[in-house]
Chain A
C-alpha cells in the first residue's frame, strides 16, 4: 500500500494526532520518539513533520496569527448559510451527502441480518441467555430499564452506535415468528417488561442474575425487577 492509498488510514491519522499532541512545534526529539513508536510510518511521519514546520514558518493570509488562533477560528460573522455557501463548502456538502446515502442510521434495526450463531455468540459474551437476547432483539424490554453497561456492550458487539441500540429498544415490540404461527386468534401487540423482570424469568445462573440485578439503573420500584 503506498502513501496515497493510505491517506485516510485511520491508524496513520491517529499517529499524526499523537505527534501533534506531543509537541507544539516539530522537533528532532519528538520525531525520533514517534518514529521509534511507529517505524512502519517513518516516511509519513517525516513528511508530516516537514510540512508542519513549513506551515508554521511560511506566510499566510494573516501573517502573525498563532496557529492556535488560526485553527481556533477568528472573530468573524458567520456567513456560511445566510450569505450562501461558497464553492468549497458546497463541494464538501456534496461529498457529505454522498456519504449519507451509505450510512446506516439509527432507524435501522441493529439486529437485522444477524445469524443465530451471531446472536448465540453475543449472548455468551454479554452473559445473556437465549431468551434475553431474543427479547432485546424483539424490543420486548423497556429501554429505560436496560443497564448502561448492557447498552454499551450491545453497541460494541453489534458494531453500531449507542444511539442505534437505544433507538431500537425504544421502538414498539415486534411479534416473534413463533408467536405469529402459534396464536389461535388474531395477533396482537405484546407488552414490554422491565429488564429486571426479564432477568428473573431467564435461565441464567443465580449469580449471573444477581450480577445483572445489581447493575439495574435506579429508575424507581415500578420499573425494576420483581424483587423490588
Chain B
C-alpha cells in the first residue's frame, strides 16, 4: 500500500468551543507530536501507530491517532484510515473489555460494540463531535462508555447477578461489610474485589427504582428531601413523596442485608 506522508500542515486547530466560548485546545505535548508526525515519513507513522505499549517512548498517544484518522478522512486518504483506525479501535476494545461493568456476556458485548461503533462514526463525521477526543481521549471515551452503558442497561436487564457469588460461596463477609457501611450512612468507593462482587450481587436483587434511590443517596449523597429551594433531592428526582422514597431505601437496605421481607 502506498502511504505518502500527510499533506496537512500546519496542525489544524480544533473548532469546538467550551461553554464559555473558549476554543478547545489540545495539550502542547499532543500538538507537538502531531506536528512531528505530519512531517515524518509513512513508515515512521506506521511504525509508531503499531506500538501498543504506552511505556514505549515511541507510543503514539490516542489523541494523535484520532487527529491523523480525521485528517485522512478530510483528505480522502482512505488507505490511511484503514491503516490507523483499527489500531485505535483495537486499543479501545481492550480497554472496554475491562471497564464495561455490570452486564452479562451478551450485554457487555452489546455495550462494547455500540461504544466502538459510535466512536467510529464520530471519527468520520465532518463536524466537531470528536474534537474532545484529541484533547483528553481517556475522558472522552469514558463519557461515551458511560452513555452507551446507561442506554444498553435501559434496554436490557438492569443488572445481572453473578453466578456463584452469594452466601454459599462465603460472600457473607463482604456483604456484611457492605451492610455495615450502609447502616453507617454511606457506601465507600474504594472497595476490594470481593466487596465489588458482593455489591453487584446485592444490587441485582433491587428493583430499578430502589437501586437508583440507593446509589443517589448512599453513594452520591443526594438528600432525600430539603426545604431549601433549588436543592436536588430524591423526592424531586424520583417524583414521589418523601415517605415513598424512604420506603424504597428501607427495602433496598433490607434486601442488601439479606432479608427479602417486604416492608410494605
Question: Could you list which residues of chain A lie within 8 angstroms of chain B, going by C-beta atoms?
Answer: 3-4, 7-8, 10, 13-14, 16-18, 20-21, 25-29, 31-32, 35-37, 42, 46-65, 67-68, 70-82, 85-86, 88-89, 91-93, 95-96, 99-100, 103-107, 152, 156, 160-164, 166-167
Contacts and interface: CB of A to CB of B under 8 A. Distances in A.
Contact of B86 (A10, A73, A85): A85
B95 A58 contact: no
B220 A74 contact: no
Contacts of B119: 92
A88 B109 contact: yes
A93 B113 CA distance: 11
Contacts, number: 243
Q: Tell me the dominant secondary structure on chain B's binding face.
A: helix
Interface stretch (B147-155, B241-249, B254-262): B147-155
A48 B151 CA distance: 9
Given A76-B94, A80-B86, A96-B123, A57 B52 contact: no
A89 B129 contact: no
B120 A96 contact: yes
Contacts of A46: 216, 237
Interface in B118-169: 118-121, 123-127, 129, 132, 137-143, 145-147, 149-151, 153-154, 159, 162
Given A48-B146, A58-B199, A89-B93, A78 B50 contact: yes
Contacts of B141: 71
A180 B113 CA distance: 54
Contacts of B140: 17
B143 A17 contact: yes
Contact of A58 (B90, B192, B196): B196
B113 A17 contact: no
Contact of A105 (B75, B151, B193, B232): B75
B89 A80 contact: yes
Nearest to B218: A53
Contacts of A72: 54, 95, 138
B39 interface: no
Interface of B: 7-8, 12-13, 15-16, 19, 50-55, 62, 71, 73-76, 78, 81-82, 85-87, 89-91, 93-95, 97-102, 109, 112-113, 116-121, 123-127, 129, 132, 137-143, 145-147, 149-151, 153-154, 159, 162, 187, 189, 191-193, 196-197, 199-200, 203, 211-212, 215-216, 219-223, 230-232, 237
Contact of A32 (B112, B200, B231): B231
Contact of A74 (B76, B98, B159, B211): B98
A91 B86 CA distance: 11
Given A36-B230, A74-B94, A106-B76, A88 B50 contact: no
